[in-house]
Amino acid sequence: MSTDGLLPSYDRLFGDLDLRPADETRSVYSPAAYLADLLKLAADSADGSEAGDGLAARRPDLAEVPLDAEHSYTELPYLDIVNEVLAKQLTVPAGTDVWTHLATLPFPFVAPFSLGHERVRQYLRHLGVDPVELYRRFTPGPDPDVIARESLGLTPGDVEMVTTVLGDGTELRGCYNLDDTGDAWDKLAGVDAFRHAAGLTPAEVDELLAVPSSTGTAPSYR
């Protein structure tokens, strides 16, 4: 439209557009509509095979997402979605929160996992705050055990795990994911089996084998 003033503008010809207020989430161009089309496409492609049912297997929560404004436009950290999906894959005792369950697991070797402690450490790392220094400044009588634990990056559960003496019994077997009665210790005799149970890489296994034994000499075999 010309701007020299000789021709009327769209607003002068038709006036203000009296549009009816509408919910944008109900538009065919909204994220909710896109998700509905995606789920319809996935359902039409599902044929019982792994490829056809891949979306439902990887993201079973998508079919339960409400198609409203809150769930369409509220941004979530990708890591929160990943953790939620993975948490649903775990089998936990009835009435037990998944994070409470993870804090008590003896296996794998990265367990137990404390969500609360990990959150605090990530916040402090982001802020550039040393947890040991923070503890010393705000504690009237610092506990040397707590200082040592925080210096090593351990949780109370980690400390209990590495300082508790376990015999050749149920608790020790659980640390290697062995059945209470059915699995023999010989099951860990193979390098690959032990590496998997201990969560070690091949390089870490080599390093472990190079550590001197109680006699002060390293083993002569690999």
Tens digits of per-residue pLDDT, 176-194? Answer: 888 766 667 778 888 888 8
pLDDT computed for residue 221 by the predictor: 41
**Region 25-44: what's the mean pLDDT?**
85
> What are 206's two structure tokens?
């080599």
Distance, in Å, from the CA atom of 177 to the CA atom of 197, rounded to the nearest integer, reads: 7
What is the model's pLDDT at position 126? 94
- Distance between CA 94 and CA 113 in Å, rounded? 19
- Residue 129 reports pLDDT greater than 80: yes
pTM value surpassing 0.85 = no
Q: Are 110 and 199 in contact (CB under 8 A)?
A: yes
pLDDT tier, 51 (very low <50, low <70, confident <90, very high otherwise)? low
pLDDT (average), residues 110-135: 92
Q: What number is the average pLDDT over the span 34-52?
A: 79
The percent of residues above 70 in pLDDT, for the chain, comes to 87
> Does 169 have pLDDT greater than 70?
yes
Contact residues for 45 (Cβ-Cβ < 8 A; gap 6+): 52
Who's near 165: CB < 8 A, 6+ residues apart? none
Does the pLDDT of residue 220 top 50, yes or no? no
- Is residue 151 a contact partner of residue 132, using CB atoms and an 8 Å limit? yes
Q: Which residue has the higher pLDDT, 145 or 10?
A: 145
From CA 88, how far away is CA 94, in angstroms rounded?
13
Question: What average pLDDT does the segment 190-216 reach?
Answer: 83
Span 62-120, pLDDT tens digits: 888 888 888 888 898 998 888 888 888 888 888 888 888 888 888 888 888 998 999 99
Q: Is the pLDDT of residue 172 over 90?
A: no
DSSP, collapsed to helix, strand or coil, labels residue 87 as helix
Q: What does the alpha-carbon distance between residue 76 and residue 86 come to, in Å, rounded to a whole number?
A: 16
Which contacts (CB < 8 Å, 24+ apart) does range 190-197 have? 197/107, 197/108
